[in-house]
Amino acid sequence: MNHVDRDQGLDYWFRMNNNYEEKTSIMLRLPMMKEELAKLMSDSEIAAVHEHSGACYLAKIDELKATENYSKFFAELTSERQEKLARLHLHFGSNVFLSRPTVVPDEIVAKEIEDEWFFTVELEGETVH
Spatial separation of the C-alpha atoms in residues 58 and 56, rounded to whole Å: 6
| pTM recorded for the entire structure | 0.72
Annotated domain spans of the chain:
27-77, 79-129
For 14-27, what is each residue's pLDDT tens digit?
988 888 888 899 99
For 118-129, what is each residue's pLDDT tens digit?
999 998 766 655
Contact 104, 96 (CB under 8 A): yes
The predicted structure's pLDDT at residue 62: 94
